[in-house]
Amino acid sequence: MTIRDLDTDYGRQLFKLQKEAYKVEADMIGFADIPPLLETYEQFIHCHETFLCFLKGDALAGAISYTKENGQILICRMVVHPDYFRQGIADALLHALQLHGDWEKISVSTGKMNLPARNLYEKNGFTHKGDVEAAPLFFISIFEKQHSFYVCDDKKHNE
């Protein structure tokens, strides 16, 4: 397993992977208009998101993308190739993201009916903040995670 930044070698592969992954989600939740499914390759390569990719050998197995501003991270995409579902890849990508720089809060949204994604975020310490109607009769769930800062009292540890 390798987690690395996206480079041009993986751009086309990731575009194809996201189509495959979001197609599975669209079928599961009954909503075909998920934005990445409608996106062109040109739109994808100009999205201004930072990508972390999960490789199994030379195979691109998954990726997470995000934007960051003023200590706030917004997860834009979380994709895992269907051949690699249920292998801990999304967990590993979330963990890598949390180690990828300073942050105060991470936000993410997913289809309300996407139970695997909801479970992933809740299992990783995200709190459900509410649901928003994104299209007629289609709801997305908003999740957030606050960074936990631990302060060490040196006196207690030095006694």
Question: pTM here?
Answer: 0.86
Neighbours of 3 (CB within 10 A): 19
**Rounded-to-integer distance, Cα 83 and Cα 131, Å:** 30
Give per-residue pLDDT as tens, 76-95. Answer: 999 999 999 999 999 999 99
pLDDT at residue 10, rounded to an integer: 78
**To which residue do tokens 């993410």 refer?**
108
Q: How many domains does the chain have?
A: 1
Question: The domain spanning residue 37 has which CATH number?
Answer: 3.40.630.30
Answer yes or no: is pLDDT of 126 > 70.
Answer: yes
Give per-residue pLDDT as tens, 92-116. Answer: 999 999 987 788 999 999 999 999 9
Answer yes or no: is pLDDT of 16 > 90.
Answer: yes
Domain of residue 50: give its range: 2-158
Give per-residue pLDDT as tens, 133-150. Answer: 999 989 999 999 998 664
- How remote is the C-alpha of 142 from its chain's centroid? 13
Strand order in the sheet with 59-69: 2-5, 50-56, 59-69, 72-80, 105-111, 138-146, 127-135
